[in-house]
Amino acid sequence: MTETPHELSSRYDPTGIEAPLYARWLERGLFHVDAADADDPYVMVIPPPNVTAALHMGHGLNNTIQDVVIRYERMRGRDAVWVPGTDHAGIATQNVVEQQLAAEGLSRQELGREKFVERMWEWVDEYGSRIIDQLKVMGCSCDWERTRFTLDEGLSHAVREVFVRLYEKGLIYRGNYIINWCPRCLTALSNEEAEHQETAGRLYHFRYPLVPEEGAPPAKGAAGDYVIVATTRPETMLGDTAVAVHPDDERHSHLVGRQVALPLTGRTIPIVADEYVDPEFGSGFVKVTPAHDPNDFEIGNRHDLERIDVMNDDATIGDAAPEEFRGLDRFEARKAVVAALEAASLVEKIEDHTHSVGHCYRCDTVVEPRLSLQWFVKMKPLAEPALAAFHAGDLRFHPERFGSIYEHWLTNVRDWCISRQLWWGHRIPVWYCDDCDEITVSREDPDACAACGGGVTQDPDVLDTWFSSWLWPFSTLGWPEDTPDLRALYPTHTLSTAPEILFFWVARMVMAGIEFMGELPFTDVLMHGTVRDAQGRKMSKSLGNGIDPLEVVETFGADAMRYTLVSAAAVGTDMQLDHADLEGSFRVGRNFANKIWNAVRFALGGLTADDVGRDPLGPDVEPHLEVADRWILTRFTDAAASITGALDRFRLHEAAEETYQFVWGDFCDWYLELVKPRLRGDRGEASRDAAAATLAHVLDGWLRLLHPVMPFITEELYCHLPGRSHDDTLLLGPWPTGGRDGEPAFRDPDAAAALGELQELVGAVRNLRSEYGIDPGRKIDLVVASLTPALERALDEEEEGALALARLEELTRAAAIPTGVVGAHAVLRSGVELFLPLEGVVDVDRERARIGEELERLDGLLAATEKRLDNPQFTGQAPAEVVEREREKLASFVQRRTRLLEKRDAFQTSSG
RNA sequence: GGGGCCUUAGCUCAGUUGGCUAGAGCGCUACGUUGACAUCGUAGAGGUCACUGGUUCGAGUCCAGUAGGCCCCACCA
């Protein structure tokens, strides 16, 4: 059904337009590609949002970027597939539901594992779909039939397969190591999940008394018979099992082998020699606590030291510690230990000390490095090919600098702790025999121990949430089954995500892709910037400075939000948006949408169904094209080529801004205005038809160029063009390439030059009017002389439009400017002269002063240009066209100078 | 401690391999209802491209250093 232009309101209101369009796209299945039809696939997978989190502006940005890329490729004719989904987000989601339970006065322990997991699924069912809906509101053109969840049956199957394969390959192992323990979440964390923050703390220096030894000299560097050790965590001293010194430390190495009486515990511990110790730091003695510090753990291994874990899971002091401290929280215990040592005069000194302390990335609790039995993935063998692929140039980062960060991490990668003491996630597929030591790791749940036939119990823990995410590019396509999807759509092409999950996710996906698919999961990685508030702070819930994308969509429309986000900064650059001033932040996009709306609304008034789709270069139209038509067609070709190039290089903001400039600056400000008289038929039928065909053609073209960024308004307007209906769509292209890909493209450099001169002429007139304070409503006369052929031609054809733009009553073409009349001269770059009669309008003194200033500035430029051209090294070494440009510049400066001098004289004459 | 990045108009940002009389949007100033658009139009003001030195015929762009800001990694007690 075609609607008439009159139904478009004078303001663009996205309400009631976006949702129906989206529904129609879905109905027609435009986002779906069948594996069987995917001859030329272009695939992206969404970074699956956490099911718990409402989408924030970071999602708004990232998903806009992805949608721009995928829509662009779709319009270019690729079989574009964007695989959507959500992540179960282990700790994060479990925490949220636990908080919900706490509000009901319940705990997960009270509920029991089975019931708790049921609760979790209820949550997922409720909120998972809400996130999907939010993506739809933003216009994301995901292939929703492929929506996946990391705990889906299929993905769980993939996780299980991967665990078993890596175990069989010896890349998964279980062991006692120091891990980051969150005493609040009661689980192990990976290194990446422990976020280090600078924290003001204290460095405590304690005295450990030496056990006297017959005939031995006293310890040096310590008063009398003490050694002095330092620590930031005094409570761990309860678990000390040695004191270490560097073997080459001349001051202390003679004490190696002696015993120290560990205060408060009644234990004696040895002094050992270890190269880890830095003799320069502190006293040169280090207390060794193998169960609570990663370095000490290593030292303990080298010296076969006992590991004494003095804490419980919740970081209260446990039974291994002296009775007086048991049950105390670690921070209370810290005070108690210091107090007790002080009472025994064993505190040497206490200093302020800032150091970086790990915090749980989910609940911000200080993590406790702690000895624990966990499962790990051996990373080195996986990292090497991932590094090699990068070095080979098969994996590209945008911006490039993220490549070196990726490289650094992989080069120094450490084993990945993958077990979590949670209930929400993929259960570790390991069974322990109830009777013997046999461990069963299996694709199928075993009933009995393979070794002794006894009963088996599954490991209670689940896997790190990223253990499913790292398989995402192929698990979503059906792996480990050999599905048509997997064969057709893997590998994917581009991945767009936040830089903070480069290690968590991107690097690990690369490793998994190579390991399990034998091929990189994608070739290009876009790292988008961080959305910050007006003070440059990261947007966060706790600061309350976040912007809700849905609120923005509701107020300004999805297109306005998308345009604003894409144009706000280059990919990879942080952007600032003021949460307190949404209007100020998003008006750019909103105003642009309104401009587009009105431009098309105007065009609709002048176009018929016959005009739309008529080729302006067809044999019956082309001969009637005028300069303005040929110019806008040329400009369009250039803009399309440039925008296409920008998108190919992922320079989305350049593409967006350039489209803006073309639509607003070229099409609206100039072409529409020039063509108005012709559309009214003032210059005859053929001219009208040529203008209308060109107008319709170029309009159609830029609606397409704009569609990836602003999908709704472009589609809506496209469907409103005469002869079109909502059965039509822009979504499937074709994309105007501006002659890229070897397609023919219209270019007329002469017309471009001619219109350029016409624009300069109009601009000069406007400038003069404004300069001399001539009422814009008052039409004036103008004389032009020394016309170039280009301008001559432009004036012949476009005079009427140009006159209107310059608000001229009459334009006189002359061979030379008139003499003996007071007026203003201006000389265009092309050498064309303007003369504006100014009988009694001008303040002479003011004018003369201004001319003086201008001359001064011009003299400076002239001198610089002359100097450059006089330099043989410049003329010899610079590219020819640069030198040529410089010559032209000089010529125009000289000419301008001459005119200015004449002008000054003219004013002097007229005043005298 | 190691690595990376940033510093360009009042604000937010562009400035490809050095060629720039340094751009855009917003904001600001002046004027304006020329029936697509006041969510608009026209014109204008506003910048020693953080600082210092170097390379070069030529530096916002390359190099070194200084100051300020940010990010990532890291087990120095």
**A130-189 residues near strand B (Cβ < 7 Å):** none
Query: Which nucleotide, over all strands, has the C1' atom closest to the CA of A529?
Result: B71
Query: Side chain identity at A884, as an amino acid letter?
Result: E
- Distant-in-sequence, close-in-space partners of A412: CB < 8 Å, separation ≥ 6: none
CA of A355 to C1' of B73 (A): 15
Residue type, A708: P
Strand B proximal to A233 Cβ, under 7 A:
yes
* Bases of strand B lying below 7 A from some protein CB: 3-5, 12-15, 19-21, 24-27, 30-34, 36-44, 56-58, 69-77
Say how many C-beta atoms besides its own lie within 10 A of residue A810's C-beta.
10
Question: CA A440, A443, A448, A450 torsion: positive or negative?
Answer: negative
The helix-helix angle for A558-568 and A711-720 (nearest 10°) equals: 130
Q: Which residues contact A797 (CB under 8 A, 6 or more apart)?
A: A626, A627, A628
Phi, psi of A148 (to 5 degrees): -130, 160
Which nucleotide lies at the shortest CA–C1' distance from A881?
B19
Å separating the CA of residue A575 from the C1' of nucleotide B11: 13
Contacts 24+ apart (CB under 8 A), A161-169: A161/A443, A161/A480, A162/A467, A162/A471, A162/A512, A162/A516, A163/A428, A163/A429, A163/A441, A163/A463, A163/A467, A164/A429, A164/A441, A164/A442, A164/A443, A165/A516, A166/A377, A167/A441, A168/A441
Lowest mean pLDDT among A248-252, A451-455, A619-623, A761-765: A248-252
Q: For nucleotide B43, give the residue with the nearest CA to its C1'.
A: A770
A251 C-beta less than 7 Å away from strand B: no
Tens-place pLDDT, residues A370-380:
888 989 999 98
A 484-513: CB within 7 Å of strand B: 499-500, 503
Q: A229 beta carbon < 7 A from strand B?
A: yes
**Which residue did the predictor score with more confidence, A220 or A877?**
A877
pLDDT at A221: 45
Residue-wise pLDDT for A664-685, tens only, equals 999 999 999 999 999 988 889 9
Over the Cα atoms of chain A, what is R_g?
Answer: 37
Report CA-CA distances (Å) from A457 to A108, A115, A444, A685.
21, 20, 14, 88
Q: Which two tokens stand for residue A167?
A: 């175990």
Q: What is the pLDDT of residue A910?
A: 46
Beta strands A194-209; A347-360: pairing state: antiparallel
Query: Residue A872: is the preceding peptide bond cis (ω within 30°)?
Result: no
Give the residue ranges of DSSP H helices in A291-329. 294-303
Checking A17-24 for CB contacts under 8 A at 24+ apart, the result is A17/A712, A17/A713, A17/A716, A18/A137, A18/A139, A18/A553, A18/A557, A18/A558, A18/A559, A18/A712, A19/A137, A21/A712, A21/A715, A21/A716, A22/A136, A22/A137, A22/A139, A22/A712, A24/A726
Sign of CA dihedral A807, A808, A813, A816: negative
Does the CB of A354 sit below 7 A from strand B? no
pLDDT of residue A806: 87
In the block, residue with structure tokens 């006065």: A105
How many angstroms from the chain centroid is the CA of residue A414?
27
Q: Classify residue A150 by burial, with Cβ atoms within 10 Å: 0-12, 13-18, 19+.
A: buried
Q: What average pLDDT does this structure show over A426-440?
A: 92
- Give the mean pLDDT of A149-175: 95
Q: Which residue has the tokens 């303007």?
A: A834
In this predicted structure, the answer to whether residue A616 has a pLDDT above a threshold of 80 is yes
Amino acid A357 CA to nucleotide B35 C1' distance, rounded Å: 68
Task: For residue A31, give Cα distances in angstroms to A34, A80, A142, A253, A791.
Answer: 10, 8, 6, 72, 49
A587 touches strand B (CB under 7 A): yes
Residue A648 Cβ under 7 A from any strand B atom: no
Apex CA A149: angle with CA A143 and CA A154, to 5°?
A: 95
Whether A9 sits with its Cβ under 7 A from any strand B atom: the answer reads no
Beta strands in A361-469, from DSSP E residues, in sequence order: 368-377, 396-398, 416-417, 419-420, 430-433, 439-441, 456-458, 462-463
Lowest mean pLDDT among A49-58, A67-76, A171-180, A414-423: A49-58
A97 versus A192: which is more confidently predicted?
A: A97
The answer to whether strand B lies under 7 Å from the CB of residue A26 is no
What per-residue confidence (pLDDT) applies to A842? 64
Give the CA A528 to C1' B5 distance in Å: 14
Mean pLDDT of chain A: 88
Distance between CA atoms of A870 and A872, rounded to whole angstroms? Answer: 6
* A776 closest-nt by C1' vs CA: B32
Partner residues linked to A721 by β-bridges: none
- Residue A669 Cβ < 7 Å to strand B: yes
A360 touches strand B (CB under 7 A): no
- The reply to whether A812 Cβ lies less than 7 angstroms from strand B is no
Tell me the C-alpha distance between A788 and A218, whole Å: 102
Q: How many CA atoms lie within 13 A of A537 on its CB side?
A: 11
Cα separation, A493 vs A473, in Å, equals 10
Q: Is the CB of A775 under 7 A from strand B?
A: yes
Q: How far is the CA of A876 from the C1' of B33 (A)?
A: 58
Q: Is the peptide bond before A736 cis (omega within 30 degrees of 0)?
A: no
What is the pLDDT averaged over residues A217-231? 67
Distance A575 CA to B68 C1' (A): 20
In chain A, what percentage of residues exceed pLDDT 90? 44
Provide the residue count of chain A.
912
Could you tell me the sign of the dihedral formed by the alpha carbons of A545, A550, A551, A555, in that order? positive
Protein residue nearest nucleotide B33, by CA to C1': A777
Q: What is the pLDDT of residue A222?
A: 45
What pTM was estimated for this model as a whole? 0.90
Q: Which nucleotide is nearest to A584 (CA to C1')?
A: B26
CB contact set of A16 (below 8 Å; sequence gap of 6+) = none
Measured in degrees and rounded to the nearest 5, phi and psi for residue A568 equal -70, -30
CA atoms within 13 A on the CB side of A393: 0
Q: Is the CB of A657 under 7 A from strand B?
A: yes
Residue A672 is classified by DSSP as I
- pLDDT surpasses 50 at A32: yes
- pLDDT tens column, A675-724: 999 998 888 999 999 999 999 999 999 999 999 999 999 999 999 999 99
Of A residues 593-632, those with CB within 7 angstroms of nucleic strand B are 593-595, 598-599, 601-602, 605
Choose between A229 and A825: higher pLDDT.
A229
pLDDT for res A113: 92
Quick check: A386 and A197 in contact, CB under 8 A? no
Could you read off the pLDDT of A870-906 as tens digits, one per residue? 888 888 888 888 888 888 888 878 877 877 777 677 6
Examine the pLDDT at A43 and tell me if it is beyond 90.
yes
Q: How far is CA A398 from the centre of its chain?
A: 10
Residue A746: φ, ψ to 5°:
-80, 125
Stretch A84-94: mean pLDDT, rounded? 88
Chain A 871-900 residues whose Cβ is under 7 Å from strand B? 871, 873-874, 877-879, 882, 885, 889, 892-893
Say which range, A319-323, A354-358, A439-443, A588-592, has the weakest mean pLDDT. Answer: A354-358
- The DSSP code for A505 is I
Q: Which residues, 6+ apart, have CB-to-CB distance to A14 below 8 Å? A: A556, A557, A558, A559, A560, A593, A712, A713
Answer whether residue A215 shows pLDDT above 70.
no
- Reported ipTM: the value is 0.94
Task: Pick out residues 707-736 of chain A having their CB under 7 A from any atom of nucleic acid strand B.
Answer: none
Taking a C-beta distance cutoff of 8 angstroms, is the pair A904, A848 a contact?
yes
Of residues A551, A482, A494, A552, the one with CA closest to residue A528: A494
Choose the most confident range, by mean pLDDT, from A83-92, A204-213, A430-439, A515-524: A515-524
Most confident of A218-227, A558-567, A762-771: A558-567
